[in-house]
Chain A
Amino acid sequence: MTDTNTDLRPPETLRSAVWAQFRKHKGAMFGLVVLGLLVVFSVLGPLVWQPEKLSVAEALRSKNLPPSFAHPMGTDHLGRDQMQRMMLAGRVSLAVGFVAMVIAVVLGTLIGVLAGYFRRLDGALMRLTDMFLALPLIPLLLVMVMLFRDRVAGYIGPEMGAFLLIVSAIGITSWMQAARIVRGEVLALKEREYVLASRSIGATPKRVILRHILPNVISPVMVAATLCVAEAIITESVLSFLGLGFPPDFPTWGRLLFEGLDYMESYPARVIFPGLAISLTVLSVNYIGDGLRDALDPRIRGR
């Protein structure tokens, strides 16, 4: 009945299959390239682009310049080079976005899986989730920053202290969506035949979760994660605006945007560049998430 000799392709590894599928997604490839460029711009940029340090009075003479060869993104109202500030700001904003996302996704997935898989933990963990959902973010951050800023800053310096606080604050207040989605998926998955089969031959919960459940909840988690990056970058901007975030001489994309707001009418470049950077990051992360979801889902892969 079957001809085993013909057309047998060499077995595909999972990684190459995923990559092949991912490459087919044009948006995802676009996102990957743009995000890569933004990361290179922020991480390597400041090493290459080092405009001359001017005194205050000298800098003020070249304030509010439009984009030019000497200042590709113009200068701000204090005569500082906007491109250099964009690069430094990018480091902070991207780091905050991704680290907060990792915290939120890890926490959310862990709690979601535990609640979905172990019935005894379900009630307690879901009430905890409800409680966190009901917590207003800004007052909570106010309290956290007030209580811990000086102490944390004392150990690791004001910038790292602020980074740690903000990242953990955003992380622990944005895992709830992921947890709920994951729990719902897990509840459905654990009644599937292959999970039941696996349990019936004596697989431990750990193995069932790692082998069967987790790969199947990847796609909703990916979506939650991409949204989280965008949210974290924006929350950081809000915090900086309220004076709770980084010290004021520490630029972030959100802060540059807020600073530029007053000058929007006369110098639109002041808001266009940081705004563009935030939008591009959020957009490309969303596309990457979309592509990854398609690539990781065995039902879509190969079609």
Chain B
Amino acid sequence: MKLRTALLGAAAALAFAPAAFAERGADGNVNVLYWQAPSILNPYLSSGTKDVETASLILEGLAGFNEKGEVFARLAQDIPTVANGGITEDLTQITWKLKPGLLWSDGTPVTSADAKFTWEYCTHPEGGCAQAARYEGITAIETPDELTIVIKFSGPKPNPYQAFVGGTSPILQAAQFANCLGAAASTCTDQNFKPIGTGPFVVTEFKVNDTVTLAANPNYRDPAKPAFATMTVKGGGDAAAAARAVLETGEFDYAWNTQINPEQQTQMSAGGKGVLLNGFGTLVERIEMNMTNPDPALPEGERSTPKHPHPFLTDINVRKALSMAIDRQILVDIGYGAAGRPTCNLVPAPEMFASPNTDCLKQDMEGAKALLEQSGWVDSDGDGIREKDGMKLKILYQTSTNPVRQDFQAVIKDWWTELGVEVELKNIDASVFFGGDAGSPDTFQKFYSDVEMYANNFDGTDPEPYLGQYLCDKIPGPDNQWQGENINRFCDPAYDALWLELSKTSDMAKRAEIAIRLNEMLTKDSYVVVPLVDRGRLSAASNTLGGVVLNTWDTELWNAQDWFRVK
């Protein structure tokens, strides 16, 4: 009934619309499923993906990230760079220009004062802004005229596309939120539930933790968009139910985050009503090699510290052979299906930062065996385990408790046993493993095993801080309460020097070149980090929904204005 009303409404709107508006609202209603239901539509008061992404239909920033991780203009005329003078040479100031004639959904003009207000709103000392990190380092925002926004930083900022870029830092309307500064922020229910924005849709009704009903924004800057007159964002259920609703029953047009196992992926895709979309970000499942000795016989406080180098994993041939014995495609098929792909890189994306390194993709068991033979690791006593100088290749392999990881362990153990390495498996409850408790021996930072497996990624599009985790001074140990990020205890002065160069470089092409080099130093040059699977995002879209492009760098609904109904 509701759908029919909406369709009638849309048809009526269409009939009376002037010619220039012919396309907007032509395609009726679109149903979107966020199985974690949105609870607020102000991204500054929630860090939940579901809230941020739903809000991005309504609120926009000056720019956004596209599916390649590149910055593109939304409300801004163009992207400021050093080359076009938008960013000063010393990297301490960035100047944005708004598109002229922009209107809020209530018909009032968008001005630079709104941006300045948003900064004040989020950095107010009494307000708990969830996205404060995006405004870090800003000392002042100046608004010389209605369209110009000048952001000043306290120091050089090689990556200034943080504030007002992406779904997590949109511009709020100053007039609407004027009374919601600081402690009052969370009490402004009307504002937080029905923000006025510049995005393709406006909220018509919001049932908290259930349904958001939206209609096309009459003042959206492109008169032909969005194609849909109304949108319903529904919550509830789980990933499998969400996938089923799009792929098998066709009740919904789009479902967010449908992480299901490969078996279910094939089954549900057979329903024929929709397709699974995958997008790859920077999340990489990897095996980390311990460069230090985790022997329990060593005194506490010296175990897994650089005081005692690892007896055999410090031999690069052993690490390389272990990597060569793994068939990454099989791992993807077992664990992730369409939501994963084999990788040899620690930084698999964005494209410009990804090394073309693909040597590891093909399993080479014979090569791995030969490599060990050559470097003196032979099975001399016939027990199936290689040894050298009386030292046996015996590995303790730990990871968190998770069905996919245990499958990986079982399969990798098979390969390594074939190689002539004895493997003992151990799994640890995820809350303990990732808990970071300095008192527990089972955290991934303590690394009381020879190798361990987990996944990690980096926030945003710039890998500098991520690569900085492998510096010599980031090694976890008793002196820093085991809080370092250099899990492998990798230490190479050449790496440190190159990273320092990266932190001083602002030219994008040069940065990419250095980042690729750093990535290779950790992976194919040294095999200290053995990447296995690049894990992507998996969402489902109906066959009748057109224009969907899955984006892992910004919100998944980043281009909802371009969605249309396939006829």
Binding site for B on A (CB under 8 A): 55-57, 60, 64, 77-78, 142, 146, 150-151, 154, 158, 241-244, 247-249, 259, 262-263, 266
Contacts and interface: CB of A to CB of B under 8 A. Distances in A.
Interface string B405-424: 01101110111001000001
Given A60-B330, A64-B263, A158-B424, 16 more contacts: A56-B327, A56-B411, A56-B414, A56-B415, A60-B334, A78-B410, A146-B440, A146-B441, A146-B442, A150-B448, A154-B297, A243-B427, A243-B429, A248-B406, A249-B413, A262-B403
A243 B428 CA distance: 5
Contacts of B411: 56, 78
A55 B428 contact: no
A127 to B, nearest CB: 30
Nearest to A244: B429
B451 to A, nearest CB: 14
Contacts, number: 62
A249 B429 contact: no
A247 B440 CA distance: 19
Contacts of B403: 259, 262
Given A146-B441, A249-B413, A78 B407 contact: yes
A266 B263 contact: yes
Given A55-B414, A247-B424, A242 B406 contact: no
B95 interface: no
A237 to B, nearest CB: 13
A249 B327 contact: no
B413 A242 contact: no
Contacts of B426: 158, 247-248
A150 B398 CA distance: 13
B425 interface: yes
B267, B327, B414, B425 — most chain A CB neighbours (10 Å): B414
Contacts of A263: 263
A19 B406 CA distance: 47
21 contacts: A55-B418, A56-B327, A56-B414, A64-B263, A78-B411, A146-B441, A151-B296, A242-B429, A243-B400, A243-B401, A243-B428, A243-B429, A244-B429, A247-B425, A248-B409, A248-B410, A248-B426, A249-B410, A263-B263, A266-B263, A266-B267
Among A60, A154, A243, A249, residue most surrounded by chain B Cβ atoms (within 10 Å): A243
B333 interface: yes
Interface in B281-340: 296-297, 327, 330, 333-334
Nearest to A157: B424
The 8 closest A-B pairs by CB, nearest first: A243-B401, A243-B427, A248-B406, A247-B425, A248-B427, A150-B296, A243-B429, A249-B425
A37 B426 CA distance: 32
B424 to A, nearest CB: 6
Contacts of B406: 248, 259
Contact of A77 (B401, B407, B425): B407
A146 B330 CA distance: 33
A25 to B, nearest CB: 42
A249 B429 CA distance: 16
A158 B429 CA distance: 17
Interface string B149-189: 00000000000000000000000000000000000000000
A185 to B, nearest CB: 40
A149 B263 CA distance: 36
A55 B365 CA distance: 12
Which has the most chain A C-beta neighbours within 10 Å: B333, B401, B425, B426?
A: B426
Contacts of A242: 401, 429
A78 B263 contact: no
A60 B441 CA distance: 35
Nearest to B426: A247
B483 interface: no
Given A60-B330, A77-B263, A249 B409 contact: yes
Contacts of B457: none
A57 B330 contact: yes
A56 B330 CA distance: 9
B131 interface: no
Interface string B93-115: 00000000000000000000000
Nearest to A245: B427
Contacts of A243: 400-401, 427-429
A244 B263 CA distance: 28
Contacts of A259: 403, 406
A185 B316 CA distance: 68
B323 to A, nearest CB: 16
A257 to B, nearest CB: 12
